[in-house]
Structure formats: C-alpha cells, structure tokens
C-alpha cells in the first residue's frame, strides 16, 4: 500500500482564522475549503493543494513556485 498525499488533509493543527476571519493561518484554507475537503475529488484536492502552496509563498513574501510538470488534474482524476 502506498501513501496518497491527496487523501490527507492539509491541516497542520493550528486551526486559527486570520484577520479576515475566513482563512486559516495554519493551512491557508478558507472556511469553505475546509468544509468541502472531505467531499472533494482527487482533481479538486490537487488543485487546492497547488493554490495553498501559492498562498503560503505569498504570505512569506516569496514568489510562488511554478506548477510541477506532469499529469494534469484531469489525468489524475482518471
């Protein structure tokens, strides 16, 4: 059995909303994204994880890394 990173929540246990009262300062997900995580399919989770990387980088004042080459979210979902 192999580890599937898309099956694990991006929660890091901080669970505190930022000043906007909508985005967690730990995992950078919005309230809506946190609530929808259990019902998201693999493609949606993969897309959200990419968005979270960009949010995290932006919060640190870094340029977001380009998306890794490979299978598209459509291909991952098949």
pLDDT digit string (tens) for 23-65? 999 999 999 999 999 999 999 999 999 999 999 999 988 876 6
Q: Which two tokens stand for residue 49?
A: 């994880």
Q: How many CB atoms lie within 10 A of CB 24?
A: 20
User: What's the pLDDT at 78?
Assistant: 45
The whole-model pTM stands at 0.73
The full length of the chain comes to 78
Which has more confidence, 18 or 2? 18
């Amino acid at each position: 059995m192999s580890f599937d990173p898309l099956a694990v929540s991006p929660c890091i246990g901080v669970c505190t909303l930022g000043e906007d009262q909508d985005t967690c300062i730990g995992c950078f997900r919005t309230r809506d994204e946190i609530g929808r995580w259990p019902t998201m399919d693999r493609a949606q989770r993969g897309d959200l994880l990419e968005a979270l990387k960009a949010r995290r980088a932006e919060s640190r004042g870094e340029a977001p890394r380009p998306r890794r080459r490979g299978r598209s979210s459509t291909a991952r979902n098949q």
